[in-house]
Amino acid sequence: MFNLMKTAILMAAITALFMAIGAMLGGRSGMMLALVVALGMNFFSYWFSDTMVLKMYNAREVDDSSAPQFYAMVRELAQKAQLPMPRVYLIDEDAPNAFATGRNPEHAAVAATTGILRVLNERELRGVMAHELAHVKHRDILISTVSATMAGAISMLANFAMFFSGRDSEGRPANPLVGILVAVLAPIAASVIQMAISRAREFEADRGGAEISGDPAALASALEKIQRIAQGLPLEATERHPETAQMMIMNPLHGGGLSRLFSTHPATEERVARLLEMVRR
């Protein structure tokens, strides 16, 4: 229920942001048009955002016959977590990573790159997939997927803002400062929203994943290995759609500066330390 409330707040915040941008660009009529667009986006995001994200990554669904060992692992962990069997996807990328998506446990999906299957041993992979199933169990996959879809839409809106802020008689932007302001502030607002919802939930998913798999040390080892290997292997789909980075078990984006400022994941060292503390307890 709490995560549904957070999702509702997020949708309301994005709607308000869209209306403010519409008002800046087109006055009252622009605000009303932005409201209609935002309501349509809210509907689409709730029902179809998971499908959209999976298509962004060219994820292919697998089953008992196409990926028997991996599918059986997810099924066994889902049973341990007392969850319905999610849809299972593979992404043909060398960079090791994984994520969960969907609007609720009954309509959930988990996805992993082929790279993560190659670099992790069985214990480590179990820890990672248990982490993703913990996201499903905690019901935070909806807000994660919705925020990714909406942040992408806001970024697109910001990119077009300067071109739709009106023109003077000579064809120049009537108010270029408005367009520039929107182009700068809108992506930042979206990033702040993502940052606010993401960091604490990763700690909770680590803890929940360790409990589901019964092996916190394996998840800690997986996180260290993923971070080490992913530094030199960009995840191409995430570089094209950075708003989806907050869904991953490890932030796949490269670079510093603002990228670090808006990082949606806690420091790997702190995550590992908490998992190893579970081992000691």
Place of tokens 């308000």: 16
CA 211 to the chain's CA centroid: 23
Q: Between the CA atoms of 189, 205, 75 and 211, what dihedral angle is there, to the nearest 10 degrees?
A: 180
Q: Burial of 2 by CB count in 10 Å (0-12 exposed, 13-18 middle, 19+ buried)? A: exposed
Kind plus residue range of the DSSP H or E element containing 99:
strand 98-102
CA distance 189 to 191: 5
Task: Say whether 107 counts as a known binding-site residue.
Answer: no
- The pair of structure tokens assigned to 171 is 């064809």
- The pair of structure tokens assigned to 138 is 């905690």
Listed residue (143, 132, 142) closest to 107, CA to CA: 142
Concerning whether 132 is annotated as a catalytic residue, the answer is yes
Task: Say whether 270 counts as a known binding-site residue.
Answer: no
Instruction: Please name the residues in contact with 127: beta carbons below 8 A apart, sequence gap of 6 or more.
Output: 209, 210, 213, 215, 216, 218, 219, 220, 221, 222
| Catalytic residue selected from 132, 170, 224, 239 | 132
| Binding site per annotation, positions | 131, 135, 202
Catalytic residues: 132
| Binding site per annotation, positions for Zn(2+) | 131, 135, 202
